[in-house]
Structure 1
């Protein structure tokens, strides 16, 4: 399959604290178009990370930091916790995005209505002597009439605004449900940013031959160092201890972690981009030399692959089987290495590297200006 590995027209990449971000150019945004994000979005909160759902699954930067801290401190329980999380991200629940309910009340609440009437009455009565009861009664009736007219005008204005917002939400939702590329990319980027994810959506559309809706996502994953050389084990007496892992054990755990994250990413994508059939994944990492990025996996996972598989099964075999560019392993320990040179993959990675370098240059220029 010839994957459309590209940055979509009207989309550019920029660097952020958690990774790369796709930005929709203003020229591609229509009135009420994908510039207004968050169709049916659920805000992320600290509770998501606390209960192990939602945002937790994407915070690779935090997991990598915790893994390195546990390794340096030789923290047995810390390593168990972070490595358990790395290999179980695909178990997280990602509820399907639903069309937001825009049926809000268009009438002014009774409390606010009564407050306006009181204000109108207080404004009218001081002008009439307290000894002129008939005049005060007339002023009160007039104030109530004016307040009622004002409230009715507010009700009409609120109704118009509510209907306009509902129409905008409907347009956005239909664009998302119809898999309009810029809307899909903008919604996924809003989701990734809210989850502090190391993923970015660089393309969306439909395959010309099959009409299946697809998205292309780049995942920036840590190097093998995220898996400790010494891991949780048990002594002959059954007491917990750290033991040295073989290179094969370490590589297998690393591959399992990548598989788990890949499945978690696809589950998040299909929960937001509700019409998506296929998710093209490009996994990149910083090479040992510390410069640029190297692609280590390119594959396609379908909605059927993710939703019909046994939930508790290891994600690595499925992810490896879905590779559309041969995944490369070297040596007896099967070290995961960079893919063979492929023009389409290298072109996409080059765009990502360029965005990261632009961010570094901006930081240097800002420092010089200060």
Structure 2
């Protein structure tokens, strides 16, 4: 018998027949002391490993608690080092995702009728209301159900075929509307495609061959403060990013997100020949109220221009800046991304104003 209690994050005290003990650190690198021995454990998921710090067989130096703590700190730093790499990769590789182009839907053929299941159902229906001791009546009902089985199979087969045909007709109509550029259908397809995007996106306008999509992204604080580096001896470590480095990574993330959104829009809506993008930034730390929700990028992307791209070799930032009608403002030596001046762009200004109104309504 025993019990344990958590007294602080990463610190747990336990009591058992062997005495009082404690464990310190995350599951990936935890030091155990007390209870007659000291040890170190590590585990990820369902798998764990434990080693005792006691004297090795044959005589060996006892591992000190300080050494175990150093191991724990090293393991924690390794986790942090890898986490920074994963976070950075996720920010700048969104555009590498491939989206399957929409094709005319084909409704699967109906499933064949399960003869045994249908016979069982017919027999159950035929025996309903007949007492179990009326053997003759139940036998007759069963015989009648079996006689009806061939006709029932034909009826169910015909019903399923009619249902499949009706579903296919509906799908054909929807596809015709999508392929011809019906604005309502195109916007609905884009909304469905954007539902699971990490950066919220919404189609706000469509003329059939062209759609306007608004993407909302967070402020530069989304960028990890630290980056991977190495010590003079070559050991992996983390260094703080400069403002310039953070702004550069922010632009790369912005570009990757824009290109991914454009690729997805062109994939799900075959009628689109152009996607106009407006990126707005929602920043609670903005210095001015009007900058809480502000446009920071605008550009147009055509299907023909992107069709021949090798996405593994594309420079997302270059694509962002070279897009027709592109607008992006950066300020100072650190290259801070600042809100656009939309005085000469009344249509874009109206979209931003409507977005602000939606936030307060």
Alignment TM-score, normalising by the size of structure 2? 0.68
Check whether the contact 1:263–1:306 (CA below 8 A) recurs between aligned residues: no
Please give the alpha-carbon distance, in whole angstroms, between the structure 2 residues aligned to 1:259 and 1:214: 20
Check whether the contact 2:119–2:149 (CA below 8 A) recurs between aligned residues: no
Shift of 1:241: 1.9
Check whether the contact 2:102–2:268 (CA below 8 A) recurs between aligned residues: yes
Q: Which residue of 2 aligns with 1:115?
A: 120
Shift of 1:122: 3.9
Q: Where in structure 2 are there 5+ consecutive unaligned residues? A: 1-78
Please give the alpha-carbon distance, in whole angstroms, between the structure 2 residues aligned to 1:245 and 1:136: 83
Q: Which residue of 2 aligns with 1:93?
A: 98
Please give the alpha-carbon distance, in whole angstroms, between the structure 2 residues aligned to 1:81 and 1:137: 70
Aligned length: 276
1:227 and 2:232 matched: no
Please give the alpha-carbon distance, in whole angstroms, between the structure 1 residues aligned to 2:277 and 2:150: 59
SS at match of 1:311: coil
Shift of 1:302: 1.6
Cα offsets for 1:174-208 (capped at 9, x unmatched): 111112111111111112124465111111124xx
Check whether the contact 2:227–2:241 (CA below 8 A) recurs between aligned residues: yes
Shift of 1:106: 6.2
Normalized per residue, which structure has more helix?
A: 1
Please give the alpha-carbon distance, in whole angstroms, between the structure 2 residues aligned to 1:251 and 1:188: 30
Q: Which residue of 1 aligns with 2:307?
A: 307
Which residues in structure 2 correspond to 1:68-147 (within 5 Å)?
75-105=80-110, 107-120=112-125, 122-123=127-128, 130=135, 140-147=142-149
Please give the alpha-carbon distance, in whole angstroms, between the structure 1 residues aligned to 2:225 and 2:198: 27
Shift of 1:146: 3.5
Q: Which residue of 2 aligns with 1:338?
A: 339
SS at match of 1:228: coil
Normalized per residue, which structure has more strand?
A: 2
Cα offsets for 1:40-81 (capped at 9, x unmatched): xxxxxxxxxxxxxxxxxxxxxxxxxxxxxxxxxx93322221
Alignment TM-score, normalising by the size of structure 1? 0.67
Please give the alpha-carbon distance, in whole angstroms, between the structure 2 residues aligned to 1:250 and 1:224: 7
Q: Which residue of 2 aligns with 1:183?
A: 185
**Aligned pair in 2 of structure 1 residues 304, 344: CA closer, same or farther (>3 Å)?**
same
**Aligned pair in 2 of structure 1 residues 252, 321: CA closer, same or farther (>3 Å)?**
same
Q: Where in structure 1 are there 5+ consecutive unaligned residues? A: 1-73, 207-212, 359-370
Q: Which residue of 1 aligns with 2:4?
A: none
Q: Which residue of 2 aligns with 1:326?
A: 327
Shift of 1:154: 3.2
